[in-house]
């Protein structure tokens, strides 16, 4: 039994030729760039992260390199599982869509590192095409929530400013206390340049707090 396990783990060990490794890395880089471009084209949030986008390309390359290492020996594969188990990722991913892109980059790297070029490239192009069509083929919801807190006397002027600055203003909540009044309006933008119009309302006398929340929950101010 020992001899059988030894032969299984070590006798089959091979070294990936340098030309094949470089070819895998090149395909991994190409796929990573496609994923990065797709992420940039389809991003619709308010806090685009260039670092995260670049990390998708790096993740594809790193996964390709790991696959080059693991394909040389089953023993290395088992050892890598134990080595990678000590890694802990503590960065919170706010958008589930970002998690999908991370999984996409890993899957593409697995395909490139195992020399399954056709599947990796065709799969990446197909997913990119579907993602772009899904993003631009349907009308996006440019709705935002504007939250304003201040004195009761200032609310009339705030409402007038909201209806002047945005379209389709709709009251969603109103809170009145002895200390302040808070209103929440759902608004729609006429164009993206209006996204910062709410900042001018900070100058209204009696307003103590104003914020805009995007449809994905991210705050703008």
So what's the pLDDT on residue 121?
93
So what's the pLDDT on residue 36?
93
User: Starting from the edge strand earliest in sequence, which strands make up the sheet with 143-150, in order?
Assistant: 167-176, 181-188, 143-150, 207-213
Alpha helices in 43-154 (DSSP H): 50-70, 74-84, 96-113, 117-136
- Tens of each residue's pLDDT in the chain, 221 residues: 555 555 545 555 566 788 888 999 999 999 999 999 999 888 866 567 888 889 899 989 988 888 887 776 555 555 555 545 545 555 566 667 888 898 899 899 888 988 888 999 999 999 999 998 887 765 555 677 888 899 888 888 888 888 887 776 788 888 888 888 998 888 877 666 666 666 777 788 888 888 877 655 454 44
C-alpha–C-alpha distance, residues 55 and 58, integer Å = 5
- Kindly report the CA angle at 170 between 167 and 174, in degrees rounded to 5? 140
Question: DSSP label at 144?
Answer: E
At the topology level, CATH places domain 143-213 in Alpha-Beta Plaits (3.30.70)
The residues spanned by each domain of the chain are 2-136, 143-213
Query: Which residues are CB-neighbours of 117 under 8 A, at least 6 positions away?
Result: 27, 111
pTM of the model: 0.59
């Amino acid at each position: 039994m020992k001899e059988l396990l030894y032969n299984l783990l070590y006798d089959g060990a091979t070294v990936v030729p340098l030309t094949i490794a470089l070819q895998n890395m090149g395909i991994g880089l190409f796929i990573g760039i496609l994923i990065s471009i797709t992420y940039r084209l389809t991003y619709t949030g308010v806090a685009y992260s260039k670092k995260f986008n670049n990390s998708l390309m790096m993740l594809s390359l790193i996964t390709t390199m790991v696959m080059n290492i693991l394909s040389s020996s089953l023993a290395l594969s088992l050892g890598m599982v134990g080595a990678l188990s000590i890694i802990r990722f503590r960065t919170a991913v706010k958008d589930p869509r970002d998690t999908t892109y991370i999984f996409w980059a890993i899957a593409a790297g697995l395909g490139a590192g195992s020399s399954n070029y056709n599947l990796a490239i065709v799969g990446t192009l197909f997913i990119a095409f579907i993602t772009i069509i899904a993003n631009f083929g349907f009308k996006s919801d440019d709705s935002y929530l504007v939250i304003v807190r201040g004195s009761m006397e200032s609310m009339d002027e705030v409402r007038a400013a909201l209806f002047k600055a945005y379209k389709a203003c709709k009251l969603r909540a109103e809170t009145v206390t002895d200390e302040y009044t808070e209103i929440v309006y759902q608004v729609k933008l006429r164009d993206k340049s209006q996204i910062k119009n709410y900042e001018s309302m900070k100058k209204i006398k009696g307003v103590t707090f104003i914020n805009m929340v995007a449809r994905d929950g991210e705050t703008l101010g």
